[in-house]
Amino acid sequence: MAKTVKLLKCNNFFIYPKKPFNFQGTFFKPSHFPSKLVVYDNGNLIQGIRIDGDLFGLIISDASTKRTSRIRIRAYSLSGISKEIESKIKDELMVRYNLDIDISDFGKRFKSDEILAESLKKWEGMRPSTAYSLYGFLMVATVLQNATVGRSIKMIDSLLQNYGVKLVFQGKEVFEIWDPKDMEKITEEELRNLRIGYRAKIIKKISHAFASGEIDEKELREIKDKEIVAHKLRSLYGVGPQSVSYILFEVFHFYDALNYLSPWERKIISMLLFGKKTVSAERIIAFAKRRWGQWCMLAIHYLFEDLFWRSKREQIAWLEEEIRK
The residues that touch DNA, with contacts defined as CB under 7 A, are 31-33, 141, 144-151, 154, 192, 195-199, 201, 236-244, 262-264, 323-325
- Nearest distance in Å: CB 18, DNA: 27
Residue closer to DNA by CB (options 33, 318) is 33
Stated length of the chain: 325
> Residue 123 in contact with residue 306, Cβ under 8 Å?
yes
Residue closer to DNA by CB (options 147, 186) is 147
d(CA 178, CA 207): 10
Strand segments (E) across the chain: 3-6, 9-15, 38-41, 44-51, 54-62, 71-77, 165-169, 172-176
Residue 64 DSSP label: -
d(CA 132, CA 111): 31
Residue closer to DNA by CB (options 161, 242) is 242
Cis amide prior to 34 (ω within 30 degrees): no
- Nearest distance in Å: CB 104, DNA: 28
Residue closer to DNA by CB (options 11, 262) is 262
| Backbone CA torsion sign across 15, 131, 181, 162 | positive
Residue closer to DNA by CB (options 141, 284) is 141
- Nearest distance in Å: CB 196, DNA: 7
- Tally Cβ neighbours within 10 Å of residue 123: 22
User: How many CA atoms does the CB half-sphere of 11 hold within 13 Å?
Assistant: 18
Residue 51: strand pairing partners: 54
- Nearest distance in Å: CB 293, DNA: 25
Residue closer to DNA by CB (options 119, 145) is 145
Quick one: which of 4, 11, 85 has its CA closest to 50?
A: 85
Residue closer to DNA by CB (options 280, 294) is 280
Identify the three-state secondary structure at position 32: coil
Measured at the CA of 243, the angle between CA 99 and CA 185, to 5 degrees, comes to 95
Quick one: which of 118, 126, 114, 42 has its CA closest to 307?
A: 118
Residue closer to DNA by CB (options 150, 293) is 150
Helices of type H across 14-133: 23-27, 83-96, 104-110, 117-123
- Tally Cβ neighbours within 10 Å of residue 180: 21
